Structure 1
């Protein structure tokens, strides 16, 4: 009987050890250092010292906390691009809400206004963008992913999105169509220090490749989100080329100046 009890205790100990090793492995898997290419791009535009060490990255089980749209106006300082030093005043406005979805207008106070849809499954997607500089409105079908519910650290999704482009001065006039191939990846979580403070930020990376009318597009974007704060830093890099007809390159980075008020 004593031998049986000893073997049973040993068996239980072995099981607990294996479970502990498995749990530790799962934790280690969610601690994801930035790849060199990503860190170089981020430091080039946001500057060194903004993004620090990797921390344990959570699964995105409550996307509304990471967008935190209900807090109203938030302020961002541009730290790269032609308007470096300027402050953008971002204003989210709830347009429509029912049991299955909520529609938001997200005005950056500068060039872009985003139409954001919160779906019943918790996904936030962009259905369209107004570009005031170019005088156009772009409609996405299906919608472009913004922040997706249930995404695990390191998880990547790939999709193709169709675009229709309309003139703001004549909304019924469609001037271009386009196709975007989007790579969407939850990179990991990191210590992020911006003027508003130090935060535990999750990093989402978008890569875009496609064509809009006669132009080709190659774009990489990074955005950091902190729970119950919202977006704390962002980088947009876009290059549009149409042979000798049209060529534009834009690199913009911004950081949160102060925490939005509830």
Structure 2
């Protein structure tokens, strides 16, 4: 897909343009345990790769979705680089600590 990046206070013309390829795959049903409880979830994996202006972007995200509680955990790895001036590699993980309503998981 085509991508345009605008400056919020700019002229209305794109500051940068590029492309982004997104692939999303249903990785199946599984049971996971978080501090908030044990949940039956569907695991989805998303892969993003592209070039926007001087930057290249590569991102892998995995999200665990419970039909009754929504997203209960996720893992994300982002890599952004812009030539030799900028290089950031971020890894994040999140898990549900307590379901809303104070009850336990599935």
Tell me the equivalent position of 1:176.
16
Rg (Cα) greater in structure: 1
More strand per residue: 2
Which residue of the partner structure matches residue 100 of structure 2? Answer: 260
Q: How far off is 1:260 after superposition?
A: 2.3
Q: How does 1:210-249 map to 2 (within 5 A)?
A: 210-249=50-89
Q: Measure, in 1, the Cα distance between the counterparts of 2:72 and 2:18.
A: 30
Higher helix share: 1
Any stretches of 5+ residues in structure 1 without a counterpart? 1-160
Cα distance change of structure 1 residues 257 and 243 upon mapping to structure 2, 3 Å threshold:
same
Shift of 1:247: 0.9
TM-score, length-normalised on structure 2?
A: 0.85
Greater RCO (Cα-Cα under 8 Å, separation 6 or more): 2
After superposition, the CA RMSD in angstroms is 1.5
Q: TM-score, normalised by structure 1?
A: 0.36
- The answer to whether structure 1 residue 187 and structure 2 residue 27 are counterparts is yes
Match of 1:13 in 2: none
Secondary structure in structure 2 of the residue aligned to 1:231: strand
Aligned counterparts of 1:176 and 1:241: Cα–Cα separation in 2: 15
SS at match of 1:182: strand
Deviation at 1:166, TM superposition (A): 2.1
How many matched pairs?
100
CA distance in 2, matches of 1:164, 1:228: 36
Deviation at 1:192, TM superposition (A): 0.8
